[in-house]
Amino acid sequence: LPASKLIEVQRVIAEAKKARDAGATRYCMGAAWRSPKARDMAQLEAMIEGVKALGMETCMTLGMLEQDQVLRLRDAGLDYYNHNIDTSERYYPEVITTRSFADRLETLARVREAGINVCSGGILGMGEERGDRIDMLLSLATLPEHPQSVPINMLIPMADTPLADTPPLDPIEFVRTIAVAKIMGDGRRKLTRVFSELLSHYLFDTRFGRVGKGNDKGKVEGLVGYIRRNHLVPIPSFESF
C-alpha cells in the first residue's frame, strides 16, 4: 500500500464530533505504523486533546511505543491504547514479521504501567488452529492485569496479499472463541449481599478459581468432599453383637 500522510488535526476533530453527535462516547484513532516517529508526536497529542475537549474518551493504535511516547500520550489525556497480540505466540511468526510477539507484550506492559487502559485482542481466520486461538486468549488472561477491552476480529481476505486464499473460518467457531473470551472475563467476581453476610458472620476468606488454573477446581471439590465425609455425614450407630 502507498504511504499516506497523517490526517490533519482539525479534520480528525470534525469527524469525532460527527461520531459524538451520532451517539458515540469513545473515538479511536489509528495509524498503520510499526511505531510513531518523533515528528508525529505533537500532532497526535493535539488530536487527543481535541477529542477529549468534545467530552469523549480517546483511543489510539499506533504500533509499538517507547516509554517516552507512552508518557506523552498519557499526559495528553489518552484513555485507551489498542495493541492486539493477533494470534498465539506459536503461530505469530507465520503471519507477522515486522515485530515479535515479545515486542507486542513489551508495549502492552509500558501502556499498562503508565495507567492507560489496554485494548488488546486478536484476529481469527488467518489459518491458525483452534489451539492457537485458545493460547491467544490464555496469553491475554494471564497478563499481570487483564485488558480492559478485548476485541475479537475476523480476517477479511484481500486480493494480492499472502492471506488472500485463506479458507474462511466457520462462523460458529468465531462465536465459540468470543464465548470463551467472555467466560474467561477479567478475573473479577461479584459478591452478593447474602454471601457478604456469610463472610462477615463466619469469617470466611474468599477464594475463586483462576483462569488457566484448572487444578483449582479439583482442590475445591476435594475440600468439599472432605468436609462432607468428616463433618456432615452422620456417624452410623448399631447394636453390639
N residues, the chain: 241
96 compared with 195, residue with greater pLDDT: 96
Instruction: Tell me what pLDDT residue 197 has.
Output: 79
**Could you give the percent of the chain with pLDDT greater than 70?**
89
Q: What is the residue-averaged pLDDT of the chain?
A: 88
Once rounded to an integer, what is the mean pLDDT over residues 194-218? 66
87 forms beta bridges with none
- 228 — pLDDT class (breaks 50, 70, 90): confident
Instruction: Tell me what pLDDT residue 209 has.
Output: 57
Question: Among 36-40, 53-57, 170-174, 223-227, whose mean pLDDT is lowest?
Answer: 223-227
Neighbours of 99 (CB within 10 A): 15
Coarse DSSP helix, strand, coil percentages of the chain, rounded to the nearest 5 percent: 45, 10, 45
What confidence tens digit (pLDDT) does each residue in 116-171 have? 999 999 999 999 999 999 999 999 988 998 899 999 999 999 999 999 999 999 99
Instruction: Tell me what pLDDT residue 176 has.
Output: 92
Instruction: Tell me what pLDDT residue 42 has.
Output: 96
Instruction: Tell me what pLDDT residue 63 has.
Output: 94
Instruction: Tell me what pLDDT residue 229 has.
Output: 82
C-alpha to C-alpha distance for 17 and 134, rounded to whole angstroms: 38
208 has a pLDDT exceeding 60:
no
Once rounded to an integer, what is the mean pLDDT over residues 16-28? 96
- The CA dihedral of 79, 80, 81, 84, to the nearest 10 degrees, is 170
Instruction: Tell me what pLDDT residue 65 has.
Output: 96
C-alpha to C-alpha distance for 33 and 44, rounded to whole angstroms: 13
The radius of gyration of the chain's CA atoms, rounded to the nearest angstrom, is 24
229 compared with 49, residue with greater pLDDT: 49
- Three-state DSSP class for 29? strand
235 has a pLDDT exceeding 60:
yes
What confidence tens digit (pLDDT) does each residue in 38-53 have? 999 999 999 999 999 9
214 compared with 224, residue with greater pLDDT: 224
